[in-house]
Structure 1
Amino acid sequence: MNFHRVKNTARHILFAGLTSCALASTAQAATVDLLVLYDNFSKNYFGGDPQTAMNSWVNQMNAAYADSQIDVQLRLVGVREMEQAGADMSAVLGNLRLNNAAIALRDQLGADFVSQLHQKGACGIGYVAVDKNWTWNVTAPGCGPIVMAHELGHNMGLNHSRKQGNQSGTRFRYGVGYGVDNVFVDIMAYASVFNTTRVSRFSNPNLTCRGLPCGIAVGQADEAYGALAIHNVRNEIAAFRPTTGSSGPVQVAQHCDYGGYNVGLPVGTYTLSQLQARGIVNDDISSLRVQAGHSITLYQNDNFSGNSITKTGDDNCLVNEGFNDSASSIVVAASGGVNILIQAENYFANNGVQTEATTDTGGGQNVGWIDANDWMAYSNVTIPTTGTYTIEYRVASPSGGRLSADLNGGGILLGEVAIPATGGWQNWTTVTQTVTINAGTYNFGVFAKTGGWNINWIRIKR
């Protein structure tokens, strides 16, 4: 309960899944596309469902980027089975880089980076570079998402710590890991060298890790600011491969219960050749997810012919409809009404805010401790069609305030909304604004023009 509205600086002490303020003054993050390949050992390690495991890993890595003040978010564009030969992990990495099938799949899906899950060797290995031709790494499935983030850190130009003999990153001298003996190490440093355990942050002298600075300021002899080194190349690495539109309001999956590969489809029509260009195999779809306000029609034959089935919601197994492994062409369309609910606490990046339990209808958490110039950003908000929309904000405030909304880090301003005095931090009301938005997928931002209010959820509807 926000009785005194005092910001709790202890929230910046790392715990996997927390987020913090970003380096940039805007709420937009660079989207970096990631392809994960896995061998049969890794498939079995994850109980036959590496897709779900990688969804979780990416969420945890994205939390680490945000908590490190790095405006980068990974987008998982594919999770595909691919065996990779090699006597050890180094050999696996070398063979992966030269594997024509892996290269073709990377280019087909527009992946900026490729991670191979493999049973060989220790925990991981990756090329230290900022180069679109050296974006490969290998991680053992049992070592977890922060090890994959470590190897991706190498691919983004970071090195280990100075104590380990690494004196510079690829582009920046300060692009190295950091640790304090017996206290912590960051994502890039080795815990064993510092006789401690790892926190899920990249080095950043502006943050605190277990009571001490998480890095050393630029210009100092032992400068260590890996977060800034990644932040400075974020737009370059996000453009390593052209985006193929792998995200969208519809996701189709290879197996029932969303297993195997998952591919996103924007609104449009897809012949067999167009599906194959996106990595979807003929007669291979078994489950699908459909966002509100959309529909998918699957056709048994190419060019939208033969038997068909239309779905307007999720279906975890098309066996039930007799349409399993039967799709050769697809139409994705925007349907009637749109109702997009965003829980305020589900931001991918923020500046200055905290969460707390709410007494509003439905329970859960709200965002509070909002001061002027604080903000929250929400990724992958898909507007199905161009038109006029109503945005609702569920807010509470003892004395009132003001917010503004934007798309893509202020690239598109949606206007301001006054927040009335509701009589308390947990006395809730809904305020609205009417906006015009073009069809597309955006990062949606809420910015505090003035502070002193809580927010529980945002709804975009039509």
Structure 2
Amino acid sequence: MTKFQQLSYKFTFVLFLGILNFSYAQKKVIGYIPNWIDLNTFSNSIQYNKLTHINIAFENPDANGNLSFQSGNNAIIQAAHANNVKVFVSIGGGAISEGGAIRDNFFNQISAGNRASFVQKLKNYVIAHNFDGLDVDLEGPAINGDYGSFITDLAASLHANNKQITAALSQGYGGANVPSYTFSSFDWINIMAYDATGPWNPSSPGQHSPYSLAVQQFNYWTGRGLPASKAIIGLPFYGYGFGSSANQGISYADIVATYPGSENVDQVANTIYYNGIPTIKQKTTFAIQNAGGVMIWQLAQDAVGPKSLLSAINDVINGTQPPQNGVATVYKHCNYDGYAVNLSIGNYTWSQLQAKGVLDNDISSLKVQSGYEMVLYANDNFTGTSIIINANNACLVANSFNDVATSVRVRAITNSSSILIQAENYSNMNGIQTEPTTDSGGGLNVGYADTGDWMAYNSITFPTTGSYLIEYRVASAVSGAVISSDLNGGSIILGNVNIPNTGAWQNWQTISQTVNVNTGTYNFGIYIQNSGVNLNWIRITKVSNAFFKQVVSEEKESILVYPNPVENSLNFSMALKSVKTQIIDFQRGIYLELPIVNDKTLDVSTLTPGIYAVVFEIDGKTITKKFVKK
């Protein structure tokens, strides 16, 4: 399908689009099968009941425009037809499109002088071998000025004989040169939404087929006028190795056989990139909701059993939900319909939601497990109007938040040791006023707070000595606002908190600080150090001390972590490429695993605000560094 893949001949490309229930009866699952493998043997292992079409690739003309039947026998065609699966023959191929005698044969045969004869030969070939259609896989340099006329003439001939015509195309490799008037001639186009990078481009290692590429390619082709029902999203059943594995394509089957658990991720060994089951399901969900189906390159690269990508696609098409490994699920439509994406505890920006298959302004219903809650924000990076949901919600229309969310937080509901203080329920105050709030839950918020104003809340009990997380629900239309909290009229200072400019006086955010307090009952106070803040509520939560006992000491010099407090990226003063690390969540009393973005950076963006520690094991010695997540 591309120059590198065709040259290697070690790949098999599979396009497949599956439709096995009435609600998705028009969706296609198309699997490519290369004719350089033993088709006789492979025909017995094909999961025909999970496919709608098979494309056998590639068969190409000689200098006279004649094709030889390279499939060798009719085993796959007969078995497919017996299972109501259609079979196409695919001509061309990525490497053939690059150059050489076969490409020159194409150039010669599709030119005006030979075109009619070549079209006749192709039509006769399809009919003679009982194919249901023909797939044109001319790419890059092979898409020349004669391409459009060739397609329209070939389509007219095939359609007149009740046969279909499709193409495999990529925007970046010749597809941009395909005339849009051909879209009406094609029955559909198999969009090669992969190979964004590869070993031929060693300066840009990384994912060759992320979810975002599938969305971008769908938008590109439909933006040019291709009907969405004719857009088939291509899925790769292979990956690429960089570094020591460079210049080699790797089948998905080989990857999962070599690396345990690799079916659930998109990268292993720091150098091999591919699509695991979650990403394949996300892409399939997108295709089912928006496009005409999916195609695969290629079926012979799939694993068997529960790790099969074809089975994962079939699960989505049959309505099976993604693995329930999160605590919340968001849905595209009301009443838990449309795509379903599971979310674990964490903070998800727009780009992070998109990477999981959740589109912007697209959430209409959600489910939340008992003990957890979701905070939906209208804008990216947890800004703008927000709403808190702590139970299943069949339709967010009733909350005026349907198709609004752009960023999301998923977190545990604070336990019985948590105290929620409504800001307007003060025991005493100086200078402030209240006003109706648009924040979730309604009611009043405190506003018009100028420098020197304050609020006091009597008889707030801190049940045990230790660390407490204090969260403030704030809004501000200015920069530079500062508040502080204290106990017993300022006799115990808990510290200052900077208030962000949230963009408007009713755009709400939650900020936090972590403090140490001795057991007892106190009068809790808020003091306006610098004006410009609205306050809706304060929540005080006991942070578990269970893991503090395990942290005997912090080594001050050997490793530095910064910034602290931190919001997104925690940096280290030394490289940790071969150093074992763990994260301790003191509030929930659990260990966590987080990705190290590079040798000196830890991604902590998904952590909820609170106290954590990163634990290093270096030369048999354990070093602990505490940090605060904002």
**Which range, TM-score by smaller chain?**
under 0.3
In terms of Rg, which structure is larger?
2
Task: State the TM-score, normalized to the length of structure 2.
Answer: 0.21
Higher relative contact order, structure no. (Cα contacts within 8 Å, ≥ 6 residues apart): 1
